[in-house]
Amino acid sequence: MTEINKKKAMSAFGEFLDIIDNLRGPKGCPWDREQTPQTLRGHLIEETYEAVEAIDEEDTDHVREELGDVLLLLGMLSQMFSEQNDFDFSDVISEINAKLIRRHPHVFGNEKAENAADVLTHWERVKNDIEGRSREASVLDGIPGSLPPLERAWKLQKRASTSGFDWPDSQGPQKKILEELDEIHEAVQSGSQRDTEAEMGDLLFSVVNFARHIDIDPALALARTNSKFERRFRHVEANMDNDGVEMSPGNIQQMDSYWESAKGND
């Protein structure tokens, strides 16, 4: 970033903070003034996913907009904690600045890092030896229980793999998926809802494991499929409505025809 662009960014950021301060001020927006960190948690997750979707779409205008929405929530949350005399946005920025410098001694110090593995080694050493973070009793410690189940499964597997507890290649989890499919079929046949739920969980966990082994983020893959399904289904709805035909099981062949035609728009 050039010096001119840095000055523009600093000026825009200052204006941004003034706007946040006004929105939360005595004469500000009633809705913004009513919000708390608890009420904005869901919005933060939602806006982050929307930013990810925009990146997947490779729509730079949309990415810029969604990153702004994420920044808005970061600003609002920092302002709320500032009002409680806990910390302000400058503290947030100063802390991440110091952490980035501290955890990159190969960039800002005299350490060497030839590859990504060396970087991760430095990162863990700094966390434990310099920052004084206690070493966990389990490698799984520190994975938030509040994570959505799909993301948490991926993180649990990835963390366990650092201890060597993993399949040697993708064939293992791929075979496990087939095994779990047989087991869920048996559970369904047994009529036990409890057993079926347990086997469904095992199946999903195995799918996540397979995705990890072939370097696919399952949450992002599912998000992309959700968007694809929505686009195709809306296409079916619109065409059925134009034809004056009801969306119903009796018209599944016509709906399926429009579904197939929607694939050309993916």
pLDDT band at 17 (very low <50, low <70, confident <90, very high): very high
Query: For position 236, what pLDDT does the model report?
Result: 96
pLDDT (tens digit, 9 = 90+) per residue, 191-201? Answer: 999 999 999 99
Q: Which residue has the higher pLDDT, 199 or 49?
A: 199
Q: Which amino acid is at 89?
A: F
What average pLDDT does the chain have? Answer: 91
What's the pTM value of the predicted model, to 2 decimals? 0.63
The topology (CATH level 3) of 3-87 is: Helix Hairpins (1.10.287)
Which of 65, 69, 18 minimizes the C-alpha distance to 40?
69
What single-letter DSSP state applies at residue 154? H
pLDDT (tens digit, 9 = 90+) per residue, 112-142? Answer: 888 887 787 777 777 777 776 656 678 888 8
d(CA 74, CA 59): 23
pLDDT (tens digit, 9 = 90+) per residue, 51-90? Answer: 988 898 889 999 999 999 999 999 999 999 999 999 999 9
Do the domains 149-216 and 3-87 match in fold?
yes
Spans of all domains in the chain: 3-87, 149-216, 220-265
Phi, psi of 250 (to 5 degrees): -70, -15
- Pair of tokens at residue 175: 């075979």
- CATH code of the domain made up of 149-216: 1.10.287.1080
224: left (phi over 0), alpha (psi -120 to 50) or beta: alpha
In this predicted structure, the answer to whether residue 145 has a pLDDT above a threshold of 80 is yes
